[in-house]
Amino acid sequence: MSAAEAAARDQASSTCATLEITRERGQRQVFCGLAGIVWLHRKIQDAFFLIVGSRTCAHLMQSAAGVMIFAEPRFATAILQERDLAGMADCNQELDRVAAEVLERRPDIKTLFLVGSCPSEVIKLDLGKAAERLSEVYRERVRVIDYSASGLETTFTQGEDVCLKSLVPQMPQLPSGERSLLVVGTLPDVVEDQFARLFKDLGIGPVHFLPPRHATEFPPVGDGTSVLLAQPFVGETLRALVERGATLLKAPYPFGIEGTLAWLRAAADAWGVSSETLDAVTAPAIARAETALARQRQLLAGKRISFLPDSQLEIPMARFLRRECGMELVEVATPFLDRQLMEAELPLLPEGLRLVEGQDVEHQLDRAREDRPDITVCGLGLANPLEAEGLRTKWSIELVFTPVHGFDQAADLAELFARPLVRGSLLKV
Q: What is the pLDDT of residues 278-298, one digit of tens each?
A: 999 999 999 999 999 999 999
Which residues are documented as binding site for [4Fe-4S] cluster?
32, 57, 118
pTM for the predicted model, two decimal places: 0.90
Average pLDDT over residues 154-159: 86
Phi–psi pair at 78, nearest 5 degrees: -85, 100
pLDDT band at 69 (very low <50, low <70, confident <90, very high): very low
pLDDT band at 422 (very low <50, low <70, confident <90, very high): confident
Q: How many CB atoms lie within 10 A of CB 102?
A: 17
Angle (CA) 113 396 262, round 5°: 90
CATH fold of 12-28+285-428 reads: Rossmann fold (3.40.50)
| Per-residue pLDDT, 409 | 97
| Per-residue pLDDT, 18 | 61
C-alpha 187: how far from its chain's center?
9
389-402 pLDDT, tens digit each: 999 999 998 899 89
Give helix then strand counts, H and E, for the chain: 18, 15
Architecture of domain 33-154: 3-Layer(aba) Sandwich (3.40)
| Per-residue pLDDT, 235 | 96
Angle (CA) 156 347 238, round 5°: 45
220-231 pLDDT, tens digit each: 999 999 999 999
Any idea what DSSP says for residue 12?
S
Any idea what DSSP says for residue 248?
E
Beta bridge partners of 146: 114
Is there a contact between 330 and 1 (Cβ–Cβ < 8 Å)? no
Give dist(CA 390, CA 384) in Å, integer.
10
Question: Greater confidence, 59 or 246?
Answer: 246
pLDDT at 4 over 60: no
Which residues are documented as binding site?
32, 57, 118
pLDDT at 356 over 70: yes
pLDDT band at 192 (very low <50, low <70, confident <90, very high): very high
Any idea what DSSP says for residue 36?
G
pLDDT above 90 as % of the chain? 66
Q: How many CB atoms lie within 10 A of CB 242?
A: 15
Helix axes 158-167, 235-243, angle to 10 degrees: 20
Give dist(CA 375, CA 92) in Å, integer.
48
Query: What would the CATH number be for the domain defined by 180-279?
Result: 3.40.50.1980
Across the chain, mean pLDDT equals 88
Average pLDDT over residues 4-32: 60
Strand order in the sheet with 75-79: 75-79, 47-53, 111-116, 143-148
List every span in the chain annotated with CATH 3.40.50.1980.
12-28+285-428, 33-154, 180-279
